[in-house]
């Protein structure tokens, strides 16, 4: 089961920094991301979604592999890989799995102009390792699918991670 966590930041650069850190934690296998999206509320009040690009890349890679295999069968592996890669990329960009766009836009409307939020759909997490990494980036928790007890535990862990450590 996946958990949704949304954290608001004062501006887009801080939200981008948080997304980069989440992706790094994913690569280190500390968390397992199903989706990560930045929702930006521009100065004019319009909402812009910055979707993750990994679905398109994964689709292109898988499509190229299948296309190459089918191309080998018909003695045209390069053409098969090209067609498979293009088809996989198109399918990956068209398949909008993960967090509902309308939900993110509605929550984005509550952000002040110029602010941004990071929406994360996490399949597996290791809060003991992830929270200390993310806490210094700041932000405020605006939405979760966690139980009230888990959410309170997360808030307290973030508060403890931000507290100055005795020298």
Extract the tokens encoding 113: 């102009």
DSSP-derived secondary structure letter, 119:
E
Residue 23 to residue 34: CA distance in whole angstroms:
11
Extract the tokens encoding 15: 């939200």
Measured in residues, the chain has a length of: 167
Task: Average the pLDDT over each of 49-53, 54-58, 122-126 and give the range with the smallest value.
Answer: 54-58
What confidence category does residue 55 fall into, taking pLDDT thresholds of 50, 70 and 90? very low
Phi, psi of 123, deg, nearest 5: -80, -40
- The pTM score is 0.71
pLDDT in tens, 29-45: 889 888 899 999 999 99
What confidence category does residue 157 fall into, taking pLDDT thresholds of 50, 70 and 90? confident
Task: Average the pLDDT over each of 28-32, 121-125, 155-159 and give the range with the smallest value.
Answer: 155-159
Q: What percent of the chain has pLDDT over 90?
A: 33
């Amino acid at each position: 089961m996946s958990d949704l966590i949304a954290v608001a930041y004062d501006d887009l650069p801080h939200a981008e920094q948080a997304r980069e850190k989440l992706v790094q934690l994913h690569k280190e296998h500390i968390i397992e991301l199903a989706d990560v999206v930045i929702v930006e509320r521009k100065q004019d009040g319009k909402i812009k979604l910055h979707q993750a690009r990994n679905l398109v890349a994964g689709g292109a890679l898988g499509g190229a592999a299948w296309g190459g295999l089918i191309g080998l069968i018909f003695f045209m592996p390069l053409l098969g890989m090209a067609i498979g890669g293009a088809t996989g990329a198109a399918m990956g960009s068209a398949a909008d799995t993960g967090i509902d766009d309308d939900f993110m836009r509605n929550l984005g409307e509550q952000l002040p102009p110029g602010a941004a939020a990071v929406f994360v759909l996490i399949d597996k997490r290791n809060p003991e390792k992830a929270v200390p990494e993310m806490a210094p980036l700041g932000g405020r928790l605006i939405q979760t699918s966690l139980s009230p007890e888990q959410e309170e535990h997360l808030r307290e862990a973030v508060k403890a991670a931000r507290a100055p450590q005795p020298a």
